Structure 1
Amino acid sequence: MKKKILSVMLVGIMTLSLAACGGNNEESGTSDVTVDGNQLDAEQYYNTYLSSDPTTLDSVKGNDTYSWSILLNIMEPLTRLDEQDGENVRVAAGAESWESNDDGTVWTFHLNDNKWSDGEPVTAGDYVYGIQRTLNPDSGSVNSYLITCIKNGEAVNNGEMSVDQLGVRAVDDKTLEITLEQPTPYFLSLTDTRAMLPQRQDIVEQYGDTYGAEASNIVCNGPFKIESWTHNSEIVVTKNDEYWDADNVYLDKVTWQIIQEETTVFNSFDSGSLDTCSSGTPEWIDRFSEKDGVESYEYENTTVRYHFYNTQDELFQNENIRKAFTYAIDRDDVNSTIYFDIHKPSYSWVMGPVTTGENGFYREQVGENPLQDIMGEQDPKELLLKGMEELGLGDDPSTITVTLSVGGTTQWLRTYGEYFQQKFKDVLGVNIELEQNEWGTFQSKTNSGDYQMGYMSWTIDYNDPISMLEIMKSDAGSIPTFWQNDEYDSLIEQASREMDESARTELYKQAEQILLEECPVCPVTNEVYHGFVYSYVKNVATTPFNTMGMKKVYTSGR
């Protein structure tokens, strides 16, 4: 007997009433269509921004948040997470319904009648190809670790089997079957990640290494299609009329301006040239909170800001050195001085909003601040001197110079670097040089190991602790620390197939403890999101984990 999971159809989510069959009221600038009782503006457009240019829109090769913001809108995952009454609910997307066998090892997805932006039908084979390409070692995908739970996934990714032996197949054009190595408790959460997005084999092969590098080098099957991409300036998408649910997509155009300087963002929002923004500056938070016609929302985000160390570096190969730099940080002072107390000091790797399932929030089950407990009263300078002795570097910290690399050239990042120059000098007595690079250069250098200590943020891919923990497995490659720990890898492997939630949580706890003890990464701050949007914008996401993109957004009363 099969276990059936029926999708929640999006047309049932949004209350739609048609006052007439189309038509605009030119005098008032409104249309004759109402949604949730709101009369839609005749012109449906939305202006937002990214703080950096995406490295690529090839979902197999990219893993930055900038590209994900675009991919969520131009590509259609098998499922999406929608926001209903403050909760996230998995709903239909590329698949209209899905089911598993009794033990959850074989999943069958029945696809919607969807088309690519060039009019070609979307088939199960397109999802098969996207998954196969993610796990094909020739692709060099940094997202492959997400889906090695698929049967033979790890062997394929290691080059030990061909992609044809992967547990994914097209039963027919509208039926996709995925077989797992073993029951995987969080498998459905992977179906709206970039690791399982569909791709057109003919288009990928046509453009080769330049696939996804330009607006013209990609086809789309999501609510929108990419219209133009002026690098480091703006990305424009327009409504995809070939999309299966196009009748419930209201925006005709979305524009992302590429704006690095936050002051420019704030001024653009204040003047109305942007419809939304977020802020980490108290004066702007206060200003926008009191601004007429603006709605604000706040939640603890699933993003950690952290330092990471190159464990192949001559200095940071030493655990005591890594501990010294990790323990030297006064996170309360960072949060106060750099972030004006709007975020939260971070003493864990897995963030607060993450849940394990029925037992609720992970942090409430295992403890809020494990790093604080590990640090105890240990003196970071003594740890530094111990590490220097182990490396034969003498006992004078002033002879140590460390490069802190950041992925941006903004004044804020310069201020951030200067803060740590002073703090590491005060606490450890070492010298810090700040290296600022554009995001693409930063990624290239850190991925190749051409760095010592870096600063970055990471946003969780899906709602389970393993989403944060598995990125530190030795074969993940997501954060290029080059750290390896066999016991850690084993714990994550066990957790990935453990169906008992309490037992799985204990495995997570043990793995996180190892990670925080050996310090290849150094959590600094958990983000608290302070968002602002003009009140004429409706249906923007206001909770973590939402993967609807701009699909449900519309404007009324601009």
Structure 2
Amino acid sequence: MRSVAKALVVLLLYVSVFTGVSFAEGIYDKQAGEKAKNEKVLTVELPFISRGLDPQLCISTSEGTVINNLYEGLMREVKGKLEPAAAESYEVSKDGMRYTFKLRNTNWSDGKPVTAGDFEYAWKRLLDPQTTAEMAFMLYGVKGAEDYNQSLGTAEQVGIKAVDDRTLEVVLKEPMPQFLSILSLPMLMPVRKDGVEKSEEGWSIDPQKAVSNGPFVLEAYDSAGKALLKKNAEYWKAGDVKLDKIHVLFVPDEDAALTAYYSGEVDILNSIPVSEISRLQAEEPNFYNFPQVGTAYYVFNTSKAPLDNKLVRKALSLAVNRKVLIDQYIQGGQIPATGFTPPGLVDMEGREFHKTAGNYGIDPNDARIEEAKKLLAEAGYAEGKDFPEVELLYNTSEANKLIAETIQEMWQKNLGIKVKLISQEWVVFMDQRSQGNFHIARAGWMGDYADPVAMLELWTSSSALNDGKWKSPEFDKLIEDSKLAVGQKRFDLLYKAQDIMMEEMIVMPLYYYTDPMMVRDYVKGWERTSGGYLYFGDGADILK
């Protein structure tokens, strides 16, 4: 689901490591000295938070992890399997178009009942065009949802209805095999109308307004980059929650985060310096490197010359040696990318989607320099002559800078063209990219569930995250038709859709993500979902 990137530089966090000031000082040590009371307190480091903790505005795994522990959707992924969560049960009509959910008798953290109306409000809030939620398209399979989000219909026409306090009815416009998986995602988790409307800005990080229905509740939040979660006594499975509190530290600097881990201030580390990954993988028994349903890529702005020419886009992509990029510079165990959908996804015949789709002319182990030169010459820029200066935009981080400089050098050496690098802080970068103010921009996408459509629908004409401004009616139709198809026919349509976008080379795939992290051996029972969200509400414990 999420943009994968480093984010806001919180200097206070970085400085604290080198001045002897503990990360855990501040809002935590003012909470009645929980450690002295022998409470079980877990400290989790996450790279960044971009928009607070609003479920409907969630776009990153960092904020998604916190939301995943504060809230609970109708379904939850536990131990790799979907199971009813806030929903006690559900029924699906024979045509697969109508879902009826029966909610459990559960409460919000302030004791008020969780109702079907809370889900209806949250989901329609996600779709409300005034919310400007990038992930609204996740519900486009619901009847009337896309029209409402595109200001072509009303909220009343959306097929989401609270029949009574404990019954939610959802009507789809076509069958969605992945519908139940979507319901476990952060942006589909409920929020309560009265809490949101007290303060549209900042309500999600205000403990006085942000009530929760998950295993934890927000106790404190610090704009310097800290959050404190405490056990939610009203949670319906509170007896399974072993942790008393969770300290969340948002640390955008990987070196500072690693120092905090080694100093004993962090129990779970998610930000690991690229230069340290190989060493840690070899030396640390508590090092993990999870494969992810995600792809790192550069997106081309297809509305700006010379990137409006697919021959140029292909030349740029073929001129990059992905293996050298990974082995010599990134060094994180990533896999060279030759298409947009990553490994690990299988079709109805048991074939891996990535392998079956093919490499689209990209050599995963080398650059195809001669072919790239021919394509560039065919586009009118032989040997790079008269090629206009274009800009490569990336968000500030040492890893992103290193990758950009390496690719810049490859393009100049292999094609004779010059590219200007521009680094921007996360908020500015995201704004500029979403508005199309770039030639080439760094990007990454994580599928929220293990299905090719979780990756491919990003590039439909109506997608708010289609930053390349590419439009293809044929591609759009294939994605829409795939939602009506079943069995292998559905996957055949998705193969054709990826063929179109890769033939156009609207993106330059670089590598498929892995997710390195370190977890101390005394932390037990923690979970990581297929979308990369951590979860601590089902028996996670500290045993030391």
The answer to whether TM tops 0.5 is: yes
Rounded to whole Å, the distance in 1 between the matches of 2:262 and 2:386 is 46
Match status 1:516 vs 2:465: no
Same amino acid, percent of matched pairs: 26
> In structure 2, what is the Cα distance between the partners aligned to 1:358 and 1:396?
45
On the 8 A contact 1:147/1:195 being kept in 2, the answer is no
Tell me how far apart the structure 1 counterparts of residues 349 and 75 of structure 2 sit (CA, whole Å). Answer: 21
- Is 1:481 equivalent to 2:471 in the alignment? no
- Assess if the C-alpha contact under 8 Å between 1:356 and 1:362 holds in 2: yes
Please report the RMSD computed on the Cα atoms of aligned residues, expressed in angstroms. 2.8
Counterpart check, 1:300 vs 2:300 = no
Shift of the 539–388 alpha-carbon distance from structure 1 to 2, 3 Å rule, reads farther
Query: Which residue number in structure 2 is paired with residue 550 of structure 1?
Result: 536
Q: Is the CA contact (8 Å cut-off) linking 1:135 and 1:141 kept in structure 2? A: yes
Alpha-carbon contact 1:306-1:522 (below 8 Å) kept: yes
CA separation in 2, counterparts of 1:459 and 1:188? 18
**C-alpha displacement of 1:314:** 3.1
Which of residues 446, 457, 467 is equivalent to 2:433?
446
Please state if 1:184 is matched with 2:171. Answer: no
| Cα separation, partners in 2 of 1:531 and 1:66, compared to 1, 3 Å | closer
- 8 Å CA contact 2:345–2:452 kept in 1: the answer is yes
CA–CA separation in structure 1 for the residues paired with 2:131 and 2:241: 33
| Corresponding residue SS for 1:404 | strand
Give distance in 2, aligned partners of 1:354 and 1:180. Answer: 25
Matched ranges for 1:249-398 at <5 A: 249-278=241-270, 279=272, 281=274, 283-287=276-280, 290-291=283-284, 294-340=285-331, 342-356=333-347, 359=350, 361-364=352-355, 366-367=356-357, 369-372=359-362, 379-388=371-380, 396-397=384-385
Partner secondary structure for residue 143 of structure 1: helix
The answer on whether the counterparts of 1:49 and 1:256 sit within 8 Å (CA) in structure 2 is yes
Report the Cα offset of residue 388 of structure 1. Answer: 4.7
Amino acid across the alignment from 2:302: T
Q: Which amino acid aligns with 1:61?
A: L
Counterparts in 2 of 1:463 and 1:426: CA distance versus 1, 3 Å: same
Size of the aligned set, in residue pairs, is: 508
Matches within 5 A, 1:75-114: 75-83=71-79, 88-114=80-106
Pair 1:399–1:150, CA change in 2 (3 A): closer
In 2: Cα distance, 1:224 partner to 1:355 partner: 35
Following superposition, the deviation at residue 63 of structure 1 comes to 1.5
Q: What secondary structure, in the 3-state scheme, does the structure 2 residue paired with 1:351 have? A: coil
Indicate conservation of the 8 Å contact 2:78/2:529, yes or no: no
SS of 1:138's equivalent in the other structure is coil
CA contact (8 A) 2:334 2:511 kept: yes
Cα shift at 1:227: 2.2
Change (3 A) 1:258 1:114: same
Match of 2:238 in 1: 246
Q: Which amino acid aligns with 1:352?
A: P
**Amino acid paired to 1:421:** Q
Deviation at 1:368, TM superposition (A): 5.0
Output the TM-score relative to the length of structure 2: 0.86
Alpha-carbon distance in 1 for matches of 2:76, 2:440: 36
Are residues 1:425 and 2:412 paired? yes
Q: Residues of 2 paired with 1:206 and 1:548: CA distance?
A: 29
Q: List aligned pairs for 1:221-236, cutoff 5 A.
A: 221-236=213-228
Partner residue of 1:472? 459
Amino acid of the structure 2 residue aligned with 1:528: T
Q: What SS does the aligned partner of 1:474 have?
A: coil
Q: Name 1:21's counterpart in structure 2.
A: none
Letter aligned with residue 111 of structure 1 = L
Structure 1 unaligned runs (5+)? Answer: 1-28, 31-40
Q: Deviations over 1:68-113 (max 9, x none)?
A: 1221111211101111xxxx21112111211111221111111122
Q: Secondary structure at the match of 2:293?
A: strand
State the SS of the aligned residue for 1:338.
helix
Which residue matches 2:14? none
Give me the whole-angstrom Cα distance separating, in 2, the residues matched to 1:414 and 1:65: 22
Secondary structure, counterpart of 1:192 in structure 2: coil
Shift of 1:209: 4.2
Look up the SS of the partner of 2:200 in the other structure.
helix
Q: 1:208 aligns to what SS in structure 2?
A: coil
User: Contact 1:388–1:395 (CA<8 Å) still a contact in 2?
Assistant: no
8 Å CA contact 1:288, 1:532 repeated in 2: no
- Say if 2:394 is the partner of 1:406: yes
1:428 deviates by 2.1
- 8 Å CA contact 2:348–2:488 kept in 1: the answer is no
Does residue 131 (structure 1) correspond to residue 123 (structure 2)? The answer is yes
Q: 1:148 to 1:399 in 2, by over 3 A?
A: closer
Greater CA drift, 521-530 or 355-364: 355-364
Show CA shifts across 1:484-521 (max 9, x none). Answer: 0110000000111212x211111110001111111222
